Amino acid sequence: MTTLTDPPKEQFRLSMLLYDTRYRSATIQVIAMIGFMLLAAWLISNTAQNLAALGKPIDFGFFSEPASYDINQRLLDYSSRDTHLRAALIGLLNTLVVAVLGCITATVLGVIIGVLRLSNNWIVARLMTIYVEGFRNVPVLLWIVFIMAILIETLPAPKAFRGDNATASMMLGDSVAVTNRGVYIPEPLFSNSLGNIHVFGESGLRFDISLDLLAILVVLGAGLWVSSYLRKRADRIQEQTGDRPVTWWQRLAVVVLPTGLVLVLLGFHLGYPELKGFNFQGGTHLRNSLIALWLALSLYTAAFIAEIVRAGIMAISKGQTEAASALGLRSNKIMSLVILPQALRVIIPPLISNYLNLTKNSSLAIAVGYMDITGTLGGITMNQTGRELETILLLMLVYLTISLSISAVMNWYNESVKLKER
């Protein structure tokens, strides 16, 4: 008969919380949690006490009061009678516009400069080095101010376009005016307009959807869909018979013809800018402040992106190029089919953080008077209402949301191009 002896039962002792690695981590976490909560509670209670002493309890009521200041660049309709909330929204859109434009141009410029820096042309490579070092080593705030000043000082004022002995003239057949107040370009107009749909009535978040634009987009989308169907069909026929039917004219036609028809039906024409009174009237006005901020942010960020691109290309071993040449690819094909797809994997993660930096740097818009969200919500609204806590916290929240969305999207893209390892 065998007796089974239980293994000595492990009893929990208090000291195990300290000495036993299994429990110690729990102890540390509990301590950390308590410390964190204490800190938070301390900050909140201080804030509450201070606000009570100042007689300014947290109150977002000011959002529904009239902002009573004007904003020059507004993507949605806005007047000084609108609320602070509306002003903040206009500012947010302006931030997004400059961030998106900046990211695109910075990428394009950065790739070009990064490739040119590796060029075998001595003077171009040197120039690009000077460009990169010059932009990277001077604060972006200075660049923004600089570029604004250059635009103001070198471009002609609208009065130079006036009179018989005008010293400046419009470009591209009198359709584009480049002045030191900004660039005026033709705007699309529809004489048989379908009108707009108003969304959200009269609230601070209201906006219009242009039915004209919607119609064009629908027709264009449908055309593209048919076109891709034609391409797939051609692929199928090619697989079955070996011959590829000629489809390019069909594909072009299904996209262009209906769209053109819709444009004609809507009475599409361009509105040209004209010098009237003090300013050019009509057309779309890209303001100086937008252009300066956009240029400065793109040029500054492009210097960083150029370095990233260069490093990415140099990280690809020379064997890849040689192997591709051995396969008989031409040098532009080598770049686009072999080198860049591989370099992209190295390039994308730092590229994301540069996009984030550009977006965050757009908050310096105030230096050139571009009314982004820092200028409206964090600037004039904060100044006029004296609600620092509410406006700054909200401002941080907005930027945090933008940043996290950019990283989420870019990380998702990064996942999809990442090398799928075994």
The footprint of other proteins on residues 31-50 (CB under 8 A) is 31-33, 36, 43, 46-47, 49-50
DSSP letter, residue 207: E
End-to-end CA distance of the chain: 54
Binds other proteins (CB under 8 A): choice among 119, 169, 238, 317? 119
Task: Determine the Cα–Cα distance for residues 97 and 90; give it in Å rounded to an integer.
Answer: 11
Q: Should residue 133 be labelled a site residue for other proteins when binding is judged by CB under 8 A?
A: yes
Residue among 95 and 259 whose Cβ is closer to other proteins: 95
Residue 184 three-state SS: strand
Residue among 250 and 357 whose Cβ is closer to other proteins: 357
CB of 191 to other proteins, least distance (A): 24
* Site size with other proteins, rule: CB under 8 A: 90
* Cβ-defined contacts of 73-77 (< 8 Å, 24+): 73/287, 73/289, 73/290, 73/370, 73/371, 76/206, 76/207, 76/208, 77/208
Q: Should residue 250 be labelled a site residue for other proteins when binding is judged by CB under 8 A?
A: no
Binds other proteins (CB under 8 A): choice among 234, 254, 303, 364? 364
Q: Which stretch binds other proteins (CB under 8 A): 122-130, 186-194, 229-237, 323-331?
A: 122-130
Q: Should residue 315 be labelled a site residue for other proteins when binding is judged by CB under 8 A?
A: no
Task: Determine the Cα–Cα distance for residues 395 and 402; give it in Å rounded to an integer.
Answer: 11
Task: Determine the Cα–Cα distance for residues 140 and 292; give it in Å rounded to an integer.
Answer: 12
Q: Should residue 288 be labelled a site residue for other proteins when binding is judged by CB under 8 A?
A: yes
CB of 403 to other proteins, least distance (A): 4
Residue 267 three-state SS: coil
CB of 352 to other proteins, least distance (A): 11
Task: Determine the Cα–Cα distance for residues 103 and 359; give it in Å rounded to an integer.
Answer: 8
The footprint of other proteins on residues 138-197 (CB under 8 A) is 138-142, 145-146, 148-149, 152-153, 157-160, 180-181
CA within 13 Å, CB half, 192: 8
The footprint of other proteins on residues 87-116 (CB under 8 A) is 116
Residue 285 three-state SS: strand
The footprint of other proteins on residues 262-281 (CB under 8 A) is 276-279, 281
